[in-house]
Structure 1
Amino acid sequence: MIGLVRGEVVVRRPDHVVVLAGGVGYRLAVSGETLRHVPAAGQETTLFAHLILRDDAITLYGFAAEEERDLFLLLLGVQGVGPKVALAVLSGGPPRELLRAIAAGDAARFQAVPGIGKRTAERIIVELREKVGAVTDEPSITITRADDPRGIARDGLLGLGYTAAEVDELLAAADGETAEQLIASALRGSRR
């Protein structure tokens, strides 16, 4: 996988840049926030990258900071949020501000993004609020509850399409020590 691209900026457009590195021009889709940090054509830049391979396309995404790439990956984990919508969200401001909006439950901030309605904005808040730790002065995303079986089970049930309220109700009655046991118990309880 391509994790970083360093080279000369050849093309700089509102939605992408082309960076010449090692004789190859890499086209990277970028957010408006990253574009602010990309210098003019002819100058050197370094972008963190993420490659997405699909049946119909291979797309490389570029980010000015690792924190922005990490937030992009978290956004992709939200149901209904694809790469284009995730880039649109990232164009809404620096990652630190977006993390604060998630922590504060500011769904209106995300509804202002083209392509995001009320449900998707609320889903972003619900699904990411617990994954994103407290926002500190350090420029990093802290993922919490990585080893918490209830948190993993909750994320799994949300991924299956249950609402947050349904998931909380199902897990309240679920028994088990591992995430798999909790999910199985919750699903058995939902059939009653």
Structure 2
Amino acid sequence: MIALVAGDVAVRRPDHVVIETASGVGYRLGVSAETLKHVPAVGQPVSLHTHLIVRDDALVLYGFHAEEERDLFLQLIGVQGVGPKVAQAVLGGGSARQLVGAIIAGDAARFQAVPGIGKRIAERIVGELRDKVGLGDWDTAVPGDDLAVHRADDPRLLARDGLVELGWSLPEAEELLRGLTGDTPEELIAQALRGARR
């Protein structure tokens, strides 16, 4: 099993990279948008954790900047209806910490915002993984990490869902709420709407 690939970046594309190792072999790794942020420019050294998927017609290698992302990928592809490409799209939606926080919070809307994922798959991801991801290393919020672990009744989540119902997209709603403070969803929504009028 290939667990890690280290070398120089030979190719850097939106959905994959090619890493040339010291032996002169180039490995093509599918990557998420989140991992791509951590991949340097062509010619620079990089090390990525990997997972190999064996299909009837191909061997496909996926790369991850952190073990936590790889672990979440493995859990995602265990969900019925979620293949590697959909799992990579989900991982492109934020850090592993943020995504696990959304799962624990029951925040299916975050996953429904990913292209190619409908309401049923989003709810399945949350439903099947909520008990599997566990709190463990994820239950400590990091300063500035707005989407770390939430309680399902978090006023910020409720405010965001309210803004989505009013017609804003999920990313727009999150942007409107960025930096706002309030004890109730209504208070947060009111502040966000005032900010949107400026």
TM-score, scaled to structure 2: 0.69
Equivalent residue number for residue 100 of structure 2: 99
Residues in 1 aligned to 2:82 and 2:114: alpha-carbon distance in whole angstroms: 12
Pair 1:136 & 2:167 matched: no
Task: State how far apart, in whole Å, the 2-side matches of 1:138 and 1:78 are.
Answer: 26
The aligned runs of 1:23-172 (5 Å cut-off) are 23-134=24-135, 135-137=138-140
User: SS of the counterpart of 1:38?
Assistant: coil
Residue 20 (structure 1) shift? 0.4
| Structure 1 stretches of 4+ moved >4 Å | none
- For the residues of structure 2 that align with 1:77 and 1:6, how far apart are their CA atoms? 27
Structure 2 counterpart of 1:9, one-letter code: V
- Change in Cα spacing, 1:138 to 1:37, as seen in structure 2 (3 Å) is same
2: distance between equivalents of 1:57 and 1:109? 32
Separation in 2, partners of 1:123, 1:28: 27
Identity within the alignment, %? 71
Q: Secondary structure at the match of 1:19?
A: strand
Residue 121 (structure 1) shift: 0.4
CA deviation after TM superposition for structure 1 residue 138, in Å: 9.2
Code of the aligned partner of 1:12: R
Deviations 1:62-90, CA, capped at 9 Å, x for gaps: 00000000000000100000000000000
**Deviation of residue 136 (structure 1)?**
2.5
**Scaled by the length of structure 1, what TM-score is found?**
0.71
Does 2:11 match 1:8?
no
For 1:108 and 1:94, the matched residues in 2 are separated by 16
1:106-132 Cα offsets, whole Å, 9 max, x none, are 000000111111110000001000001
- Residue 26 of structure 2 aligns to a residue whose secondary structure is strand
Paired residue type of 2:116: G
How far off is 1:58 after superposition?
A: 1.0
Instruction: Report the equivalent of 2:17.
Output: 17
Q: Structure 2 regions of 5+ residues with no counterpart?
A: 143-198
- Give the superposition deviation at 1:23: 1.0
Distance across 2 between alignment mates of 1:136 and 1:35 = 26
- What amino acid does structure 2 have at the position aligned with 1:136? D
* Secondary structure at 1:131 match in 2: helix
